[in-house]
């Protein structure tokens, strides 16, 4: 079991905790002391965590870092390096070979490890299906909110800690501004609806969901919620890789979705390279 136990004061003011370090090798609980970051390049710069799928490939030199957590192992070893001048901790949520299905991703280990590495903010890159005909495949979107009432992950299984989940507005604006610098158009708002996976949605499900959201995916809401619990700002850059089932006339297949994701990957990487704190 992966649980996080804090004294009542910190449970009530979790988002105000600036320094939380984890003694990972001994699997000890959270230590609430202003200790240095575990980031290997020095902790005076802005360090960003980047959680991506399997379509993106980043050039440059990356140092592999294996992180253990009480929640089990993260999806893959971290890649530590720089991207567009930022120090980055890169994690592939579907594993190094892209074989971990959405419902088997160890989100708690992934976010726990991000905090342990001294990451100060997290950006998720999420492949999504469009719930709106006007939002065509090939588009990028920076959501402002998300919907996931049927499946909620938490670090707090043994006590009641009630956070208010949200996407970080400052980080959202940084992504939108990065797209502007890269000369790439993005939708600056949208609601992300998360389903359970691994199967795609039925036409009836999509007919219901399109009344509440703009895009549908299987991962982002869990990442955003867990980041909120640990006081990590989180925002998402969504790659619209298909119309959802019943939106548009094209037949839907996993192979076609993956092909579109590869086509969109260049635009996604261009935006991330322009990201500034």
Phi, psi dihedrals of residue 185, rounded to the nearest 5°: -75, 135
User: pLDDT band for position 59 (50/70/90)?
Assistant: confident
Q: How far is CA 178 from the centre of its chain?
A: 17
pLDDT > 80? residue 24: no
Asked if residues 167 and 144 have their Cβ atoms less than 8 Å apart, the reply is yes
For the chain, percent of residues with pLDDT exceeding 70: 84
Asked if residues 103 and 196 have their Cβ atoms less than 8 Å apart, the reply is yes
Asked if residues 27 and 21 have their Cβ atoms less than 8 Å apart, the reply is no
pLDDT of 110 reads 98
Rg (the chain; Cα; Å): 18
Q: How far is CA 244 from the centre of its chain?
A: 21
Q: pLDDT by residue (tens digit) across 150-186?
A: 888 999 988 888 999 999 999 999 999 999 999 999 9
pLDDT > 80? residue 277: no
Asked if residues 56 and 265 have their Cβ atoms less than 8 Å apart, the reply is yes
pLDDT of 3 reads 60
30 vs 124, residue with greater confidence: 124
Distance CA 191, CA 173 (A): 16
pLDDT, mean of residues 42-70: 84
Q: pLDDT by residue (tens digit) across 78-130?
A: 999 999 889 999 999 999 999 999 999 999 999 999 999 999 999 999 999 99
Contacting residues for 13 by C-beta, under 8 A, at least 6 apart: none
Phi-psi region of 245 (alpha: psi -120 to 50; beta: other; left: phi over 0): beta
Distance CA 264, CA 114 (A): 26
- Across the chain, mean pLDDT equals 85
Distance CA 19, CA 93 (A): 25
How many Cβ atoms from other residues are within 10 Å of residue 242's Cβ? 25
**Domains recognised in the chain with CATH numbers:** 8-273 (3.40.50.1580)
Secondary structure class of 107 (helix, strand, coil): helix
User: pLDDT band for position 4 (50/70/90)?
Assistant: low
Q: pLDDT by residue (tens digit) across 118-142?
A: 999 999 999 999 999 999 999 999 9
pLDDT of 116 reads 96
159 vs 232, residue with greater confidence: 232
55 vs 232, residue with greater confidence: 232
Residues in the chain: 277
Q: Are strands 47-52 and 234-243 parallel, antiparallel or unpaired?
A: unpaired
pLDDT > 70? residue 14: no
How buried is residue 275: exposed, middle or buried, by Cβ count under 10 Å (0-12/13-18/19+)? buried
pLDDT of 257 reads 87
Distance CA 70, CA 85 (A): 32
pLDDT of 15 reads 36
pLDDT of 87 reads 94
pLDDT of 58 reads 83
pLDDT, mean of residues 39-67: 77
């Amino acid at each position: 079991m992966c649980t996080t136990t804090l004294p009542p004061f910190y449970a009530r003011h979790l988002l105000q905790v600036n320094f939380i370090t984890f003694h990972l090798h001994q699997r000890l609980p959270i230590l609430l002391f202003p200790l240095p970051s575990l980031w290997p390049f020095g902790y005076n710069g802005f360090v960003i965590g980047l959680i991506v799928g399997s379509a993106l490939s980043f050039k440059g030199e990356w140092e592999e870092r294996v992180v253990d957590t009480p929640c089990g192992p993260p999806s893959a070893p971290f890649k530590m390096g720089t991207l567009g001048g930022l120090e980055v901790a890169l994690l592939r949520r579907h594993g190094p070979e892209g074989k971990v299905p959405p419902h088997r991703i160890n989100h708690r280990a992934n976010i726990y490890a991000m905090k342990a590495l001294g990451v100060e903010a997290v950006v998720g890159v999420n492949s999504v299906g469009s719930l709106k005909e006007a939002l065509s495949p090939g588009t990028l979107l920076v959501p402002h909110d998300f919907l996931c009432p049927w499946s909620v992950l938490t670090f707090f299984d043994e006590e009641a800690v009630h956070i208010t989940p949200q996407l970080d507005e400052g980080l959202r604006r940084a992504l939108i501004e990065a797209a502007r610098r890269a000369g790439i158009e993005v939708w600056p708002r949208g609601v992300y609806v998360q389903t359970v996976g691994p199967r795609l949605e039925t036409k009836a499900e999509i007919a219901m969901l399109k009344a509440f959201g703009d895009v549908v995916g299987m991962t982002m809401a869990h990442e955003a919620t867990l980041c909120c619990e640990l006081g990590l700002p989180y925002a998402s850059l969504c790659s619209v890789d298909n119309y959802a089932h019943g939106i548009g006339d094209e037949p839907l297949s996993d192979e076609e979705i993956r092909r579109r994701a590869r086509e969109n990957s260049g635009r996604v990487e261009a935006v991330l390279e322009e990201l500034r704190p």
